[in-house]
Chains A and B, each alone.
Chain A
Amino acid sequence: MRCKAVRNKLDRLSRQELAPRERERIEAHLSTCADCRRLLAAQERLASLLTNLPKPPSVPEGFGDRLMAVARERRAARRPVPGSLWRSRWLSPSASVGRKAAQAVALAGGLLIGVLMGQQTWRSAHSSIPQQAVAPDPVAVYELDYLTDAPGGSLAQSYLSLTKAPNHNGT
């Protein structure tokens, strides 16, 4: 076994975390390698230095009570208000399959109604064009036939041309 591979395992050897076979191989290496033995001794001194520090202070008095007070406040803040229950149920993954199916049918029905209404609107919009095209002739409606014989450029002809113009009614 090479020194580098052994050195990475020395701490686990001290902690007795190695499988028996690996431990035997490392111990065999240590019996012949003074450098790795020195490193093991140094690691053990470091471990002793680190672990001989004073213990941390105890958990502060009242820690649990303070924590529980905050936890109760948070829980109260998260409690659903009346009227919002339907929302959580709607979004809940635990909602029954039947309820979800009913929701899907309602959604599909709504979509169908929307499409039908859209078609109706489209049809009425397109059918309004021919109605405009067959709009009554103002000359006939207002009986202005007698002006048609007037000479060109006269005031009567100008009035007739204005009356027949497409936006004669101001639209």
Chain B
Amino acid sequence: MLAVASGDLSAFGQLVSRHQTLAWNAAYRFLGNTADAEDIAQEAFLRILDSAERYQPTASFRTYLYRIVTRLCFDLSRRKRLRRHHQLPDVEANWPSPEGVSIRDELAAAVRQALDSLPAAQKMAVVLRYYEDLGYREIAAVLSTTDKGVERLLARARATLEDRLGRFLEE
């Protein structure tokens, strides 16, 4: 980051190639489509470049990147929610009909739908915990909360997910 702050674009290029998968995966898991995920991942790196001179290494770079991706995802989902609210589209149209899809696809679609029903902070906590495999302390740093705050977010998210995915969870 020091090299990036001094204007070294090749150092920035190395940073991108080392961490692009992380930014992309988190954004994709949260947003659920490639176009938005690419926009968010790209914007996250550009913000890092623009603010490199002010960067304070108070946390690991990984945590810093997750935090920026998270904020951008929250902003985008807020804008999209507002747009949906005004346009009143058919939300179900995004999901495949039950006919002709495999159980695995049906399961994936159901999980996606259940995740999308969560409030943004709960959803990102689930993404970071279950898909990015972050510990509670790092999730707390990304979401600017405490370990207990993460426990509560995940507990509420799990309650909703268990409710919505109950048929797939029966013993």
Kindly state the separation between the CA atoms of A59 and B24 in the bound complex, as whole angstroms: 6
Q: Which residues of chain B come closer than 8 Å to A50, judged between CB atoms? A: 111, 126, 130-131, 161
B108 on the A face (CB < 8 A): yes
The proximity string for A residues 11-47 relative to B, scoring 1 for CB distances below 8 Å and 0 otherwise, is: 1100101000000000000000000000000110111
A56 with B28: CB separation less than 8 A? yes
Interchain Cβ contacts within 8 Å, total number: 92
Interface centre among A58, A59, A60, A75 (most CB of B within 10 A): A59
**Prevailing SS type, chain A contact patch:** helix
**Is A17's CB under 8 angstroms from B135's CB?**
yes
**Is B145 an interface residue when CB atoms closer than 8 A count as contact?**
no
Q: Compute how far the CA of A112 lies from the CA of B34 in the bound complex, rounded to whole angstroms.
A: 65
Size band of the interface chain B makes with A? 35 or more
Q: Say how far A107's CB is from chain B's closest CB, in angstroms.
A: 28
How many residues of chain A are within 8 Å of chain B by beta carbon?
32
Give Cα A7–Cα B155 distance, bound, in whole angstroms: 9
Q: With A45-B169, A46-B158, A63-B38 in contact, is A15–B25 under 8 Å at CB?
A: no
| Known contacts A9-B151, A49-B165, A75-B7: A66-B42 contact under CB 8 Å | yes
Residues of A within 8 A of B20 (CB): 59, 63-64, 67
C-alpha gap A17/B136 in the complex (Å): 8
Cβ contacts B30-54/A at 8 Å (1 or 0 each): 0000100110011001100110000
Residue A63 contacts which of B24, B107, B158, B169 (CB distance < 8 angstroms)? Answer: B24
Within 8 A of A (CB), among B94-123: 104, 107-108, 111
Chain A to chain B contacts (Cβ below 8 Å), 6 pairs: A49-B165, A49-B168, A51-B131, A57-B28, A66-B42, A75-B7
